[in-house]
Structures are given as structure tokens and as C-alpha cells.
A and B are shown apart, each in its own frame.
Chain A
Amino acid sequence: MIPTPHIDWFALAPVNSLLAATGLALLCAVLAPARSRKAVTATLCGLGYATALGFAVALYVKSAHGHGVVVDAFRRDRLAELTAIIVAGSGILATVVSYRERWREDHIGEYYALLAAAGAGMIFFVGANNLLTLFLALEWFSISLYILCAIDRDRLSGLEAALKYLIIGGFGSAVLLFGSALVYGATGAIDFPGIAAAGHEHDALLLFGLAMIIAGLAFKASAAPFHMWTPDVYEGAPTPLTAFMAAATKTVALVVMLRILVTAFPGDAYVWTRALAVIAVFSLVIGNLAALVQKGVKRMLAYSSISHAGFMLIAVASSSSLGARALLYYLIPYAAMSIGSFAVVAARERELGVPVTFANMAGFGWERPLLGISMWTFMLGFAGFPLTGGFVGKFYVFAAAYRHGWTWLVIVGVLATLVSLYYYLGLVRAMFMRRTEDLQLAPIGGSPPRDALLQTAVVACLVVTVGSFFAVQPLIDLAKHAASSLPF
């Protein structure tokens, strides 16, 4: 008799519920009648994410002491579950925002199937506890996203974005894989604790591998100088998908970076903390300066997401429990603000039928007050104003850097925030404060009907953005418990 492994199905339930949604949506994409296909597959995708969210919450509550499952390939701990909650929440919102997107719908069933598959891959990614699972999950969600970018075959910009993402993303994956091979060569272990226990801290091979793993994950987190794909892909991809990528992909890439660096490379902390600080400074400088000159709103938000990768890398670089807490707290309002702002862009895009620029946002705030005020709040949140979670997030990140003794990094961060005010408030000015002759109150072809689903999603994002400022303590506690899964 061969001993069969014990499998903790509960720990895998969030991933499996999304995979079940993928399979069912794929079957409905070909078996359901064409009229109801969109409704059925979107419902399945949304239900998959909702089930995953429910399981993730239950797992968070019941996993106070993290442990490995499936022969230690996968971690069941609060770090993974909190991230899974953020991913599943982003997935629900992205599904809702996608529903009324105007595109050719001959692959709509596949869109929702792949959206669920991408989420499953991401949740698997954050639980990865060895280099093989890490790479498998990375490819799993990346390939889903490459296809999703090109799902609307009539849009050339989408095809261009998909191709750029595929080539550069493939390159990033190859770098990560090569790095993993070097680390395995140096230590003879692929599981994270095993790599740490091998004790080869000053091995050149290991340091090379570490550098390549950081570079590979920085590609996914779109941190400079590995950010080149971000503006083009965010601009070209369908806007609801951009919202999902900006929120979920960045979240999982940063959390996995934190996990692998802290659990597998604690002995090399003096190297990777400095490396991440340099990457953070690059991201802050390049993201903010490039965002200043953008005319397209999606491109501006893409560069803003690069600068936010910089802010959150400061938290990772400080390599402390406080830093981990700051990152995990910051990700909650950040994900909500990203999805919300791209959803507002999607709403304007559906009205105009052309890419949204600063110029054609003129008067939008007066025309659609709910979306306008929400966008205003998201911009203030990105800039780090009080009454939004962005303020507390930045405060915590700077506190972590200061505690680590990096006052200079705090100064760079504050300067970057000051620069960012120009373009964030520039968008608010474009929406609300244009002269009367600039206003384009009536879009060409008359106003489309109000999109209740999209507005609901935007309001949900608004609630999280503002709510995370007032509910700081409970959220910080959540982040603290999640961060305690890591060996600091």
C-alpha cells in the first residue's frame, strides 16, 4: 500500500472554488444559449469570487497558527488569507465593473472564466511555500492575464498590450526561474525555510539567484526599473481588467516578495533591504515624474501605480514587523482606490467611446456627481490626504522606514508625495474646475443610461477608501495578525 498524502481541502477551498467557477463558466461559454451567456458566466465568476472570499475569511479566523499543507508546498496562514481576501474582493468588483463594458462579446464566457482562473492563480501564489509552487502559480495567473488583455480581438490597442505583456512578462518569468535554479544550486533546497536553513548567506551563486528573484517579482509588481510594460499594458487592456491588474497583481507580487525575502533569505537581509530601497527610490522618481506629463488618464494612473509600488516597497525594505503591517494595511485602501478610479475611467470611456484624457474629463464631476466625487476621493487617497486610508497607509510606511533608520527614504517619499499632488489634483481640476467654454457636458450621441452596477462598485470602493481611515484599528489588527505569520 502506498501512503497517500493527507490533503487539507479547507486550506485549498478558496482556490478550488474559483477553479470550479472557471470550469463551469467555460462549459456555459459553449453550452448556454448565446443570449444568457454573459449573465450566466458573469454570475458564476462573481459567485466563485464570493465563495473564495467566504472561505478566505473563515480560514483567516481559523488559522491563527500558520502551517504548511500539501507536503509543505503551500502555506495556510493569515498572511496568505488576508491577501486572498483582498484578491477575492478585487475580483468581485472587477466582475461587476466588467459587466456593462462595451466590447465584442463573442468571447464573453471565456473572459469571465479566465478572470476567475487568474484569481485562483493569485490566491495560490500568495500561499506558495517553495520555488516550484511559486513559479507554477506565477505562470498560472500571468497566462490568464495575457489572454484577458487580448480578449477583445477588434481592439488593436488590446492586442498590442497583450503582446507587450506576454513578451516582457515572459522575460520576467524567465529571470525568476533562472534565479530559482541558482538558489537551488547554491542551497540544494527549494522550500523557503529550507533555503534559509541551508546557511549559504554569502555565496555568490545565492546572491545572484536572490537578485534575479527580486527582479522577476519586481516585473510583476511593476516597480522601476522593471516597469516599462506598465503604461502600455494598462492603457491598452480593457479598463475593467486594468483595474483588476492594478489592484490584485500588484498586491500578490508585493506580498509574495515580502514572504520569500523574509522566510527564505533572512541571512541576506543587509543586501535585499538596500536593493529594495534603491528600487523604491527609482519607482518613486520615475513614476511621479513621468505621471506629470501624461495626457491620458489611464497612463497617468499607470505611472501612479508605479510610484505606489515604490511606496509599498519602502515597507518591504524596512524588513520589520512594522513594515509588514504597513504593507498589508496599505494594500487594502490601495486596491479599493485602484479599482474605483479605473472604474470611473471605464464609465467615462463608455460615454465617449474614445480613450479618456484630462481634456475630455472636463465637466464630468458636475455631470455625474457621484462618480466625480468618488474620483476626487480616490485621487486624494492616492496623494495621501486624511479622511482616506491612503493617509494612514503612507504614515505607516514612513514610520517603518524611520524606525529602520532610513530618514532619507522618508524624505524621498514625502517629496514624491508633493510632486504627485500636481497630477492627482490636476485630474480633480479637470473634472470640476474648467471654464464654462471647456465643458463638454453632453457627450456626443446623448447620455447612455446610468450604469447601476458600475456605480455600486465605485461606491463600495469609496466606502473602503474612507472606511479604512476611520476603522484604522481593526484593520491594523488584521494586518498585525497577518504579519505575525512571518518569522521576524
Chain B
Amino acid sequence: MLDNWLPFLIYAIFALIIPASMMWFSFVFATRAHKRTRWRELPFESGVSTGPPRVQRFTVSFYLTAMLFIVFDIEIVFLYPLAVILHQLAWFGFLEFLFFIAILVVAYVYVWRKGALDWQ
């Protein structure tokens, strides 16, 4: 009975440790003075300040990087199911996997040489 729940327990412990450590570290490594300004009194909301929304202009580099991130990130998601059953698929799965990676590499080299990864 307990065995079934052990992975969940470990997972839950990690889920608690990671955000707790982040909050703790932000106090430990804080370099600014401990003055209590109005903004610092507000609850921490995932880095988004809870004021009226301000009109902000992002440089286009953010969008470019975000789009490239999504493209490559989604493609990596396809590799997870393959990794789980790679032994059952044997050589066929491995070759298809390599082919997929090769396509990604072509795209990566193109993006890199085009300078889309340089921050301007």
C-alpha cells in the first residue's frame, strides 16, 4: 500500500522544496536594503506586479526567441513517447528518431547561422 504512494510522496516533497527554496534563496541572497517599500509589501505573484497593467513595449527579440523556443520545445515533446518504447521499436524506431533529429538539426543550423539566436 505504502509502496504505491512512495513515488507520489517523493514527488510531493520535491514540489514543496523547489518553490520553498526559491523563496528562501531570494531572501538569503537579496542584495538590496531591507527597507519596506510599498511594492515590496505586496504579495509575490509569479513575478507579475499586481498594479494596473502598464503599456509595455517589448523588443522584437523577445518574440523571436519565444517563437523559436516553442518550435523546438514542442518538437522535443515528441521524443518523450518514443524514448519510452524505444526498445520495443528497435532499429526502426531508432532510425526514425535519428531522421527526426536530423531535420531538427537542419532547422537549428539555419536559425543559428541566420543570427536569430543573437540578442540584438
Interface residues of A (CB under 8 A from B): 1-2, 4, 23, 26-27, 29-31
Least Cβ–Cβ distance between B26 and chain A, in angstroms: 41
Partner of B109, one of A1, A2, A4, A30: A30
The majority secondary structure among interface residues of chain B is helix
**A-B CB contacts (within 8 Å), total count:** 23
Partner of B110, one of A1, A2, A4, A29: A29
Give A1 to B91 CA distance when docked, in angstroms. Answer: 12
12 A-B pairs (CB sep. < 8 Å): A1-B88, A2-B89, A4-B89, A4-B93, A26-B106, A27-B109, A30-B109, A30-B110, A30-B113, A30-B114, A31-B109, A31-B113
Give A23 to B101 CA distance when docked, in angstroms. Answer: 13
* A31 / chain B contacts, CB cutoff of 8 Å: 109, 113
Give A27 to B112 CA distance when docked, in angstroms. Answer: 11
Give A28 to B103 CA distance when docked, in angstroms. Answer: 15
Contacting pair A1 B90 (CB below 8 A): yes
Nearest residue, chain B, Cβ from A22: B106
Contacting pair A26 B110 (CB below 8 A): yes
* B114 / chain A contacts, CB cutoff of 8 Å: 30
**Does B39 make an interface contact (CB < 8 A)?**
no
* B106 / chain A contacts, CB cutoff of 8 Å: 23, 26-27
Give A2 to B92 CA distance when docked, in angstroms. Answer: 10
User: Considering the complex, which residues of chain B in the window 96-120 have a beta carbon less than 8 Å from any beta carbon of chain A?
Assistant: 103, 106, 109-110, 113-114
Least Cβ–Cβ distance between A153 and chain B, in angstroms: 15
Contacting pair B85 A2 (CB below 8 A): yes
Least Cβ–Cβ distance between B12 and chain A, in angstroms: 34
New A-B contacts (20) at CB < 8 Å, excluding given A4-B93, A27-B106: A1-B88, A1-B90, A2-B85, A2-B88, A2-B89, A4-B89, A4-B90, A4-B92, A23-B103, A23-B106, A26-B106, A26-B110, A27-B109, A27-B110, A29-B110, A30-B109, A30-B113, A30-B114, A31-B109, A31-B113
Least Cβ–Cβ distance between B48 and chain A, in angstroms: 34
Nearest residue, chain A, Cβ from B103: A23
Give A26 to B92 CA distance when docked, in angstroms. Answer: 27
* B109 / chain A contacts, CB cutoff of 8 Å: 27, 30-31
* B110 / chain A contacts, CB cutoff of 8 Å: 26-27, 29-30
Per-residue contact bits, chain B 14-51, to A (CB 8 Å; 1 contact, 0 not): 00000000000000000000000000000000000000
Least Cβ–Cβ distance between A17 and chain B, in angstroms: 15
Least Cβ–Cβ distance between A311 and chain B, in angstroms: 41
* A2 / chain B contacts, CB cutoff of 8 Å: 85, 88-89
Nearest residue, chain A, Cβ from B91: A4
* A23 / chain B contacts, CB cutoff of 8 Å: 103, 106
Give A296 to B93 CA distance when docked, in angstroms. Answer: 55
